[in-house]
Structure 1
Amino acid sequence: MDEEVKELMKYKLLFEKSPDPIVLVGGNGEIKMANPAFLSLVGEKADVVIGKSFLDYVVSEDKDQLSQYHKKRRTDPRTAPLRYEFGLLTKKGEKKIIDRTVILLPDGETTLSILRDITPYKQLEIQLIQAQKMEAIGRLVGTIAHDFNNVLQAIIGYSQLLLSKINKNDPRWNYVYQINTISNEAANLVKQLLLFSRKQPIETIPVNINQVIDNMKEMIVRIIGENIECKFSLDRKLREVEADITQIEQIIMNLITNAKEAMPGGGRLIVETKNLKIDKAFASMRGIEPGDYVMLGVADTGKGMDEKIKQHCFEPFFTTKKDGTGLGLSTVYGIVNRMKGCVRVYSELYKGTIIKIYLPQAKTAVLSSAKPEITDISPGGGKTVLVVEDSKEIREFLKEMLETLGYSAVFAKNGAEALEQAKKYPVDVLLTDIVIPGMNGYELARHLYALRPEIKVVYMSGYPKGVLTEMNVNYPALTDGAWSE
């Protein structure tokens, strides 16, 4: 008998000291026993929990399913899963995601459940899926935007040519002017898409976000209007970040505009900055490196967002506004992600929204890259330009432009055609896209230098240097007029 008592005491000690919540549930669904870890999880005392239905701690959408499992486990145990996930509600109304393992005891009625709170892991999984989705959308958007940009540049170019040939008093001039203006607006939208997809080049310098906000204060106050109280809580010892000032301004304007539109009846807006040190735990959850960061926060007391909207708020073209483009927060996401920072959204329906942006502090001054020398080519003179471009729209526009400037122009869609044209015509200048079929523009120029050492070369591309490097298109060095590998 003493041995049985010792064995029971051992099991009781395991039950009470287990770090995982354990609960015994009777055939009628009432809780018969619960260990301290379970009491801590739900935030209740033992005298409240014992005798209460286990379903009282289950979220409404999962109650029916758990009730079915409870019945099946006692009538046909083989059809009830031994392990599954469900949503648990605490005394404070917090929702936890729980992994539950259920064991039917020998009496055929009572079950022993071992619970594990997997909420943090689920949140991390959701963030990972969202990041992967955003990355895939970014690649798709970047490809479409680049191709669409080629078409827009042709429209803008043709309209500019027309404007230069039509008298301003001609009624048609205004039509062309509107085409040019609207096309430029579309090009700006494409620019935002390229920012989101990380295909837009930026020049970074050490920037103090406080100074940017101070310079924008009057504009911010005018934008939000008189019915919104605005408060600035800025850390006056704020460190610098490596950034493009224009993009920091764009982030602030997008966040301020969103906050204003969330408070049509008025409210309160808070703009905050702070120096932070981010530890490994926080960094790993956000997909960034631990270290010193600057936090920019914008909080409003507006209508807020539910969980469904929050999951999609950074996607391009997703908007809840009647006349919104859906590019505001996606642009913010693209800029911040590119700067190796992260964005956090805290929002509850009808309680407001807080958006916090974390950017790495600048370590050293950033030197802007040296800009290539620009050769002044005077219009006219009968010189021949070999244009290599795979886009038909761009080729036709360049033909009009070059002929208007008094040049002869010959065209090729790829490197092989270009070499053939160079053998037929006395080419003075090569104007080539860098990314072309067959060989890249740099390789083409190297071959043409062998044919015509005196040729001048002008490169053009819709891709920034970083993307070209990723595509293994690197600028070759020149030594005394000869290419060196």
Structure 2
Amino acid sequence: MDNSLKIQARLDYLEEANRTRFQALDMIRDLGGIHESLSRLEDSGTIIDICRTQIKKLIPVKTIAFYMVDESNSDFQMERCIPKGDRTMVKKEMEEFIKDGTFSRAVLEKGPVIAGSKDFSCQFLFHVLATTSRVRGMCVAILEGETRNVPDASLELFSILMTHCANALESHALYSHLTSANEMLKEKVEQLSNSQSYLQNEVKAHEKTLEALGKSEAQYRLLAETAREIIMTVSGDGKIIYANPYCIALGEYNNTELRNRDVHHIIKGIDKMDLKFPQGASQVQRASLAVKVGTEIPLEVTIVPISDDSRKKVLITGRDISEHLRAEAEKKRLEERLWHARKMESIGLLAGGTAQDFSTLLGIIFNYIDMSLECLPEDHPAASYLGHVETASNQARDLARQLYTIGRDDRHETTLIDVNKEMKQIVKLLQSSLGREMILDLVVSDSPLLVQAEATRIRQILMNLISNAAHVTGGEGIQMGAEKVDVTSSDLQNSLGLKPGPYIRMWVKDSGPGIPPENLPHIFEPYYSTKKNKKNAGLGLSVVHGIVKNYGGAVDVETKIAQGSCFYIYLPEAK
């Protein structure tokens, strides 16, 4: 009987052992499936569910809770509790286990730990979820019913299960981390690939920009090197950094003389305040370039502030305005001559009209004088009075003729006149009256210089000019002469209103004090005179101007203060 009991007990033990082995094999197979499916798991909850199922196969439990370690603060946080209704009760009991050190002992022993609840109504089974490197969490189970003793084999399998669960959780975390890192790596690779492509495009664009800048720089340098204007780059303290070849050649410097020179020594007239980098529009002003030999060339300069490598500079461009100034002066001179010609024309019309009316009145006076003399005996006292009236009337008639001349309404017969002969005769006639100290220097050609005029008018012109020259020259000589000139539409003489063609030019030059600029516009006006002799009527140059204009010619004058004056008479050459 005893043997039968022993045999039965042995059989029960072996059966339990075999059952335990089968359970272990099933558990290992299931856990192996977990490792194989880690790549397909979305989260760690599946691993916990599988472990919970295996625990219930090994040990009868009514409640299972899993605490996981919070990576941010290393605290244990309840991840899952089955059933959910026991969640609050488990948390309260865990607070007591933490206080009495049971929870810490379970963490340190790394094996199954069984402890009673605070009221001893149930037993708790603890097992840490730990790998060889760290603690992942804690499995907490409440045993079923009155279970007090759990077979050692079940506890060993429970420990194996917890180890596999911890490793599975660690592997899943590592795999998730690797997956995340792999995704990040893919993103980085894609970003790097995009960045590389972007950088390659940027490099190509930069190379094109550099090429374009090189071409632009070459073009601008060629423009600066070949420009017919001065181009300078000046530093903030006024030192010349660059000057183009035209500037160097215009100032007659060499290639190194201008570098680092003070720009105010080269460009005269630029105020130092102009280099204070004004904001907004550029400055345009008149200045001059100091030539190496000491002269100056007038310029119109433009000053523009520029920035280069955080250094402030000034770009100065300028053009030579010498021709422009000469053209302006010539334009002003032509305008003055045109105004003078129009004024003389108006004066001539006025003088001609006055002379016409004056002649009509003189004709009436002469008629009444003649009738009065016929009615009176010769010894009558009134006859002498009428003789004085007739003399004064003759003088008035001469004055009217001069006014006719000024008005260019002087109609008379003309013939071919050789100016050379007339000038020679005038010299012979006036030389004795002017005195030995006054020398008339005559310059004429051998060939005849013919004009269509009246000899008395030509003599009147020459006598008036020589008389004026003698008055201002004093004891020094007078130069006079005649020559043939051709006037074209572009000639300077054509500014006098002459028609293009051949002309005979007579000239009388004195060595007097010259004509002041303020007097020059009035010298051809009737009754204008600077002579102190009150007997002078001031009609000499007016008569000359009227005669010459009547012949289709022109009168010009060149004068310099303290150097004398020269009057030119232009008359059309006779064919």
Instruction: From the superposition, tell whether residues 292 and 26 of structure 1 become closer, same or farther in structure 2 (CA, over 3 Å).
Output: farther
**Contact map agreement 1:160 1:180 (CA 8 A) in 2:** no
| Partner residue in 2 for 1:127 | 337
Instruction: From the superposition, tell whether residues 105 and 315 of structure 1 become closer, same or farther in structure 2 (CA, over 3 Å).
Output: same
Which moved further from structure 2: 266-275 or 165-174? Answer: 165-174
Counterparts of 1:72-471 in structure 2, within 5 Å, are 103-107=302-306, 112-114=317-319, 115=321, 116-117=324-325, 118=327, 119-264=329-474, 266-282=475-491, 283-322=493-532, 323=534, 324-363=536-575
Q: Which amino acid aligns with 1:156?
A: F
The Cα shift of 1:189 comes to 1.9
Q: Which amino acid aligns with 2:549?
A: N
Instruction: From the superposition, tell whether residues 179 and 355 of structure 1 become closer, same or farther in structure 2 (CA, over 3 Å).
Output: same
| Partner residue in 2 for 1:440 | none
The Cα shift of 1:55 comes to 6.0
SS in 2 for 1:226: coil
Q: Which amino acid aligns with 2:506?
A: L
Instruction: From the superposition, tell whether residues 87 and 104 of structure 1 become closer, same or farther in structure 2 (CA, over 3 Å).
Output: closer
SS in 1 for 2:411: coil
The Cα shift of 1:234 comes to 1.6
Which moved further from structure 2: 213-222 or 110-119? Answer: 110-119
Q: List runs of 5+ in structure 1 lacking aligned partners.
A: 57-65, 364-485
Distance 1:172 1:316 in 2: 36
Q: Which amino acid aligns with 2:573?
A: Q
The Cα shift of 1:242 comes to 0.5
Q: Does 1:2 align with 2:214?
A: yes
**Contact map agreement 1:316 1:330 (CA 8 A) in 2:** yes
Instruction: From the superposition, tell whether residues 26 and 355 of structure 1 become closer, same or farther in structure 2 (CA, over 3 Å).
Output: farther
The Cα shift of 1:334 comes to 1.4
Distance 1:143 1:88 in 2: 56
Q: Which amino acid aligns with 1:131?
A: A
Say which one has the larger Rg. 2
**Contact map agreement 2:502 2:572 (CA 8 A) in 1:** yes
Instruction: From the superposition, tell whether residues 357 and 77 of structure 1 become closer, same or farther in structure 2 (CA, over 3 Å).
Output: farther
SS in 2 for 1:236: coil
Instruction: From the superposition, tell whether residues 155 and 240 of structure 1 become closer, same or farther in structure 2 (CA, over 3 Å).
Output: same
Q: Which amino acid aligns with 1:257?
A: S
Sequence identity of aligned pairs in percent?
Answer: 26
Distance 2:458 2:222 in 1: 62
The Cα shift of 1:362 comes to 0.8
Which moved further from structure 2: 336-345 or 247-256? Answer: 336-345
**Contact map agreement 2:268 2:289 (CA 8 A) in 1:** no
Distance 1:93 1:148 in 2: 63
**Contact map agreement 1:234 1:273 (CA 8 A) in 2:** yes
**Contact map agreement 1:238 1:274 (CA 8 A) in 2:** no
**Contact map agreement 1:25 1:112 (CA 8 A) in 2:** no
Distance 1:349 1:216 in 2: 28
Instruction: From the superposition, tell whether residues 39 and 123 of structure 1 become closer, same or farther in structure 2 (CA, over 3 Å).
Output: farther
Any idea what the Cα deviations from partners look like across 1:429-476, whole Å, max 9, x if unmatched? xxxxxxxxxxxxxxxxxxxxxxxxxxxxxxxxxxxxxxxxxxxxxxxx
**Contact map agreement 2:268 2:288 (CA 8 A) in 1:** no
Any idea what the Cα deviations from partners look like across 1:142-199, whole Å, max 9, x if unmatched? 2223223322332333334334444454444333222222222222222222212211
The Cα shift of 1:288 comes to 1.1
Distance 1:146 1:197 in 2: 10
Instruction: From the superposition, tell whether residues 38 and 189 of structure 1 become closer, same or farther in structure 2 (CA, over 3 Å).
Output: farther
SS in 1 for 2:518: helix
SS in 2 for 1:345: strand
Instruction: From the superposition, tell whether residues 102 and 267 of structure 1 become closer, same or farther in structure 2 (CA, over 3 Å).
Output: same
TM-score, length of structure 1 as denominator length = 0.59
The Cα shift of 1:35 comes to 7.9
Q: Which amino acid aligns with 1:226?
A: R
Distance 2:235 2:350 in 1: 54
Instruction: From the superposition, tell whether residues 95 and 274 of structure 1 become closer, same or farther in structure 2 (CA, over 3 Å).
Output: farther
| Partner residue in 2 for 1:478 | none
Distance 1:256 1:214 in 2: 13
SS in 2 for 1:274: strand
State the aligned residue count: 342
Any idea what the Cα deviations from partners look like across 1:190-239, whole Å, max 9, x if unmatched? 22222122112121111111222233333211332232111111212023
Question: Which of structures 1 and 2 has the larger relative contact order (alpha carbons within 8 angstroms, sep 6+)?
Answer: 1
**Contact map agreement 1:206 1:243 (CA 8 A) in 2:** yes
Distance 1:2 1:34 in 2: 19
The Cα shift of 1:241 comes to 0.6
Distance 1:334 1:26 in 2: 63
TM-score, length of structure 2 as denominator length = 0.50
**Contact map agreement 2:231 2:316 (CA 8 A) in 1:** no
**Contact map agreement 1:295 1:356 (CA 8 A) in 2:** yes
Q: Which amino acid aligns with 2:305?
A: P
Distance 2:489 2:472 in 1: 34
The Cα shift of 1:325 comes to 1.8
| Partner residue in 2 for 1:414 | none
Distance 2:370 2:237 in 1: 80
The Cα shift of 1:102 comes to 5.5
Distance 1:233 1:258 in 2: 19
SS in 1 for 2:503: strand
Distance 2:395 2:293 in 1: 50
Q: List runs of 5+ in structure 2 lacking aligned partners.
A: 1-212, 307-312
**Contact map agreement 2:225 2:244 (CA 8 A) in 1:** no
The Cα shift of 1:355 comes to 1.0
SS in 2 for 1:271: strand
| Partner residue in 2 for 1:443 | none
Q: Does 1:11 align with 2:210?
A: no
**Contact map agreement 2:426 2:462 (CA 8 A) in 1:** no
Distance 2:361 2:226 in 1: 71
